[in-house]
Structure 1
Amino acid sequence: PTIIFINKIDRAGVNLERLYLDIKTNLSQDVLFMQTVVDGVVYPICTSTDIRAEHKEFVCNHDDDILELYLADKEILPADYWNAIIALVAKAKAYPVLHGSAMCNIGINELLDAIISFIFPPASVPNRLSAYLYKIEHAPKGHKRSFLKIIDGSLRLRTVIKVNDSEKFIKIKN
């Protein structure tokens, strides 16, 4: 998932329309402008409770389930559109665009909210080891002692571990 954040909107002479065209030309046509900017002030135009017609049209063009509901003249709630937008962003079929000025703390809370809404942490795989090797000491008799920072999972004596999806294996010894 990708969120596009247009920074430095507080600067004089910023041409957002040209920037929008550049984004659509050089990055993707599948952008969703979540805000509008007037005189350096950011206003939301797409939220979980308020979906504009242009956003509804975008969702219908990209989500067959919502399109079927629309064509069947069924009621589609703002939450339905919002959930579809979240799913499209997760599948990299839509790219929300937000605005702000990091230096002036404009739009930062909205960016953080968007990150929480649109980007989910990867599902944890139980008992899968994730660790960083940060130090190797040479012990007597030519042995090596490795020091790991374990991020997830656990180690036990005599466990055999596959290294980074390679063909190498390591056995945990005392």
Structure 2
Amino acid sequence: MPKSKWSVDPAHSNIDFSVRHMMIAKVKGAFETFTAEVDADPEDLTTAGIRFTIDAASINTREKDRDAHLRSADFFDAEKFPNITFQSRSIAKKAEGEYEVTGDLTIRDVTRSETFTVTYEGTGKDPWGNERVGFSGNGSVNRSDFGLTWNAVLETGGVLVGDEIKISFEIQATRQN
């Protein structure tokens, strides 16, 4: 398949995360609003260009007060830094349909190189004749590397919020050309 531009379908895509809470459980959440610019041959991502822009204020952990705290200067400072971005820099094929995508992740005013595992899930036509492609992926980042260092020490020793953020995503996109 030739290289094409693809538009992410937000109704059929998601970006989720989880983080340890109180050293005993995990809190899960998602970013509700994001866009992506993808220029790729979905069957061979090694030459693709991928850019994600996430609305930091769209964070949703199903708890209003926690979400407000995450939007505050203690964490994302979404008013001052409204976007989280990822720009691919290199893509290596690891197995059939599986890739490591390395790029620049920017959270707040910190940019770091991060790598995510991405799986090509396939292509197909929807009922309206549009060509669609699906990808899934995951990775993890250390939140303190991006200046997200707020925490509280617990009576039992440990901390309220873990450092490792596990990220997973399901992306469905339609061909634009």
TM-score range relative to shorter protein:
under 0.3
TM-score normalized with structure 2 length: 0.25
Of structures 1 and 2, the one with the larger relative CO (CA 8 A, separation 6+) is 2
Structure with greater helix share of residues:
1
Structure with greater strand share of residues:
2
Structure showing greater radius of gyration is 1
TM-score normalized with structure 1 length: 0.26
